[in-house]
Structure 1
C-alpha cells in the first residue's frame, strides 16, 4: 500500500463504508502510535502528542488546523499545557474511514517536518 501520508482523502458521503475489520488491522499497523478508542459507540483514532510547553503545543495545533483545512477533514483537538490530544473519525459514516488513517499519518508527519 502507498505510504498513508502521501495519499489523498476522498470525498466521504453519508452511507460510505467504514473500514472493515481486515482493513482496520492492516491500517493501524501503519500508524502504530495511534490507539483505536470507542466513544458513544463510535470507533475513533486517538493520539496524545507531548511538547515542552504550551507555545509548542499551540504551534502544533495551528499546523494541524491548517492541514485539516487543506484536506477538508477535521479532527477533535484538545490543546493543553505540554500536550495535544488528536482524535480522527468520520462523522458522515459514524466511525472510521480510510481518510482517518490518512490524516493520522499526515498528523504524524507534522512532527517530522517541523511545520
Structure 2
C-alpha cells in the first residue's frame, strides 16, 4: 500500500495535474463536461481499462453530459501517489 501524501506532497502533485483537478478533503476530483450523454459514457468506458490495470477504481457520478471523477485510496484513508497517477492517465483520455 502506498503511504498517504503529506500536505506539501499534495500541493506539488496537484500543481503537476492539468487544470480542473482539485483536492477536496481526502479526495481528488474533477468534473468533465461533454457534448452529450453518449460522449460522457464513452469517456467512462475509456476509464475502465486503465483503472482495472492500475487496480485503482474511481468513484464516478454521471449526470447527462457531465462526469465527476473522485479518486481516493480507501484502504489508506486518503490520497496516495496512486490517485495522482490515475488522475494523470484520466486527464489524457
| d(CA) in 2 for partners of 1:58, 1:80 | 10
| Structure 2 residue corresponding to 1:105, chosen from 77, 88, 91 | 88
**Where in structure 1 do 4 or more consecutive aligned residues deviate above 4 Å?**
none
Aligned length: 92
1:67-114 CA distances to partner (integer Å, 9 max, x unpaired)?
11111100001112111000000011110001101101110011xxxx
Q: Which has the larger radius of gyration?
A: 1
**Aligned match of 2:3:** 17
User: How much does 1:17 deviate?
Assistant: 2.2
Q: What RMSD, in angstroms, separates the aligned Cα atoms of the two structures?
A: 1.0
| Unpaired stretches in structure 2, ≥5 consecutive residues | none
User: How much does 1:25 deviate?
Assistant: 1.1
**Aligned match of 1:62:** 45
| Structure 1 residue corresponding to 2:13, chosen from 27, 33, 36 | 27
Normalized against structure 1, the TM-score is what?
0.76
Normalized against structure 2, the TM-score is what?
0.93
| d(CA) in 2 for partners of 1:79, 1:66 | 18
2:75 partner SS: helix
| Unpaired stretches in structure 1, ≥5 consecutive residues | 1-11, 111-115
2:49 partner SS: helix
